[in-house]
Amino acid sequence: MAQLTIPHTFSTGDTISAVQNNENNTAIKTFCETLSAGGNFDAGAINTEDIANSAITEAKIASGAVTTAKLGTSLTLTTPNIGTATASSIAVTNNVVYHIQTNATAGAYTLVLADDGKIVEMNNGSGVTLTVPLNSSVAFPIGSQITILQTGAGQTTVAGAVGVTVNGTPGLKLRTTWSAATLIKRATDTWVIIGDLSA
């Protein structure tokens, strides 16, 4: 911690003027106020044991204050919700374990934003259509992937709403029960479907 400097010192029997006394008090006051504002601390003066658990909160961290340079090369993330992570690419050397969610449907179905990254199950006794909506109605991000799984006997046909193009070969129908295919958004209103398809 920085050293407190008192402008005037006195010995027994010295006469103390009001001005000198006030200057000493002002120096102490200024030093304490600077401490309160976070100043006058030397590097390393505050140790881990000096910080109470959960004492450093989001409200106390300035925007942009935690940077890559201040983080370790290896981090263990234990918070349930870590928000949205974005990167141009992520290199993974070991297994990535994730559990995909399922949206089970019956009858004709139009995709919703919550289907992004999910399996949409189509369970119907007769032919049924899954519709890909316009971007102006449901703004899936480009690169969205949705897996379609036919669980019923009724054949599933994938169709774009008016203005939406869905490309696939040899056609846009799931071949049979338990056939699956993945829809991938390539542009604003352009998708491709890849999987066990038929004409």
For the entire predicted model, the pTM comes to 0.62
Task: Read off the pLDDT of residues 106-158 as tens digits, 9 standing for 90 and up.
Answer: 999 999 999 999 999 999 999 999 999 999 999 999 999 999 999 999 999 99
**CA distance readout (Å), 117 to 91, 109, 114, 146, 169:** 20, 16, 8, 5, 22
| 27 sits in which H/E element | helix 18-36
The pLDDT value recorded for residue 80 is 67
Confidence grade of residue 44 (pLDDT, cut at 50, 70, 90): low
Tell me the domains of the chain and their CATH numbers. 1-82 (no CATH), 102-198 (2.60.120)
**pLDDT value of position 174:** 98
3-state secondary structure (DSSP) of residue 87: coil
- What phi, psi does 60 have (nearest 5°)? -95, 0
What is the distance, to the nearest Å, from the Cα of residue 193 to the centroid of all Cα atoms in its chain?
A: 27
Which tokens sit at 116? 């992004």
What is the spatial distance between Cα 149 and Cα 158, in angstroms, rounded to a whole number? 11
